């Protein structure tokens, strides 16, 4: 297995309804590029993995524990292990980059979907 890959070559997985994730596992971390559809709600949940992330495009309303924040491109979050959190996307959806430690091994069983062009980064299309 190569140390390198283009994100478009990573088959997406259906993480939640309205959320596709392209997942790259390391030995100790998982990197995910997630594409969230407009007006998607990820219900409150928690997990043993510490999670950090940044929004690339779109907007989110993110609740971590008792704190809620509206985020746009460049906004970041940090979620300690087992802390409840919830997300709702805005009308344009969102693309986010997230890192989980330890790796999200629970995602290994998710089915890979047909490879499709990611929303980010935008590729120059030749005519």
Check: pTM over 0.75? Answer yes or no: yes
Q: Report the pLDDT value the prediction gives residue 124, as an integer from 0 to 100.
A: 57
- Give the residue numbers spanning the domain of 101: 11-107
Q: Per the structure, how many domains does the chain have?
A: 1
Q: Which of 2, 25, 8, 42 is nearest to 103 (CA)?
A: 25
Query: Are the CB atoms for 30 and 23 separated by under 8 Å?
Result: yes
The answer to the question of residue 1 being in a domain is no
- CATH number of the domain residue 37 falls in: 2.60.120.10
Number of other CB atoms surrounding residue 102 within 10 Å:
14
- pLDDT by 10-residue block (mean), the chain, 127 residues: 89 95 96 97 98 98 98 98 98 98 95 85 61
Query: Has residue 114 been placed in a domain?
Result: no
Q: Beta strand 76-79 with 85-101: parallel, antiparallel or unpaired? A: unpaired
Residue 119 lies inside a defined structural domain of this protein: no
């Amino acid at each position: 297995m190569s140390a390198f890959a283009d994100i478009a070559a990573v088959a997406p997985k259906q993480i939640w309804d309205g959320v596709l994730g392209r997942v790259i596992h390391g030995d100790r971390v998982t990197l995910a590029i997630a594409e969230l559809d407009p007006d998607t709600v990820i219900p409150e949940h928690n997990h043993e993995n510490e999670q950090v992330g940044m929004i690339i495009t779109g907007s989110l309303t993110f609740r971590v524990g008792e704190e809620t924040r509206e985020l746009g491109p460049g906004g970041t979050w940090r979620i300690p292990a087992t802390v409840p959190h919830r997300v709702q996307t805005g009308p344009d959806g969102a693309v986010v980059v997230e890192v989980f430690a330890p790796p999200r091994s629970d995602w290994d069983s998710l089915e890979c979907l047909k490879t499709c062009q990611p929303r980010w980064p935008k590729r120059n299309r030749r005519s």
